[in-house]
Amino acid sequence: MSQTVRVWDLVVRFGHWMLATLFFTAYFTEGSPTWLHTSAGYGVLIVIGFRILWGFIGTPHARFRDFIYPLRDVTAYLKSLRARQPKHYLGHNPAGGLMVFLLLAALTGTACTGMTLFAADRGRGPIAAGAALMRGESLRDDGRYAKVGSKHFWEEVHEVFANVTLALVILHIGGVLVSSVLHRENLVRAMVTGRKTLP
């Protein structure tokens, strides 16, 4: 029987599944109901904030330095996948490590542009409040601030970020399935139990 070892701690696993849940909640509600869509977006930013902190102070395989690889290593790993002879990594492989950073960046962009859109469309949220504070404005009687920027522009940018994030998620799932087959290891289960097979 293969020997397993604990690799992913509870913070990494909980954060991973929370980000997936929050992103798909926000994506499929598409702003209706507004409270659910915006709450999911704020949740994404909170989880990302914790994940970034954990990337510096967390357990060994959770730290960013464990899966920052040069581009040549990412390319070599992808070639080895194609040749069906990939090197086994206990933590993130080079392609998986790059995907973590791409997803964190895309999710941050999606959530931040969503907040900006909320400020431009409704005059609400932390960006609207911050902009009003900088202009020396106070909250209006209707509970809103002056609108920030062009609603149409931020709607387009937010949609682009959301669709790029979805494309990355699909690519990530595909990579996990391919790696699971080639390594004969259930990587989805590993992100639930935290345990992986020793190489």
pLDDT in tens, the chain (199 residues): 568 889 999 999 999 999 999 999 999 998 789 899 999 999 999 999 999 999 999 999 999 999 999 999 999 999 998 888 888 899 999 999 999 999 999 999 999 999 888 877 777 777 766 655 445 455 455 555 555 557 788 889 999 999 999 999 999 999 999 988 988 889 999 999 999 877 6
Count how many domains the chain has. 1
pTM of the model: 0.87
DSSP bridge pairs for 197: 4
Please report the sign of the dihedral spanned by the C-alpha atoms of residue 132, residue 133, residue 139, residue 143.
Answer: positive
What's the confidence (pLDDT) of residue 30? 85
DSSP bridge pairs for 5: 196
Q: Which domain holds residue 192?
A: 4-197
Helix (H) or strand (E) segment spanning residue 87: none
What's the confidence (pLDDT) of residue 129? 63
CATH, residue 149? 1.20.950.20
Residue 56 CB neighbours (<10 A): 10
Distance CA 173, CA 160 (A): 20
Dihedral class, residue 30 (left if φ above 0, else alpha if ψ from -120 to 50, else beta): left
Distance CA 124, CA 117 (A): 9
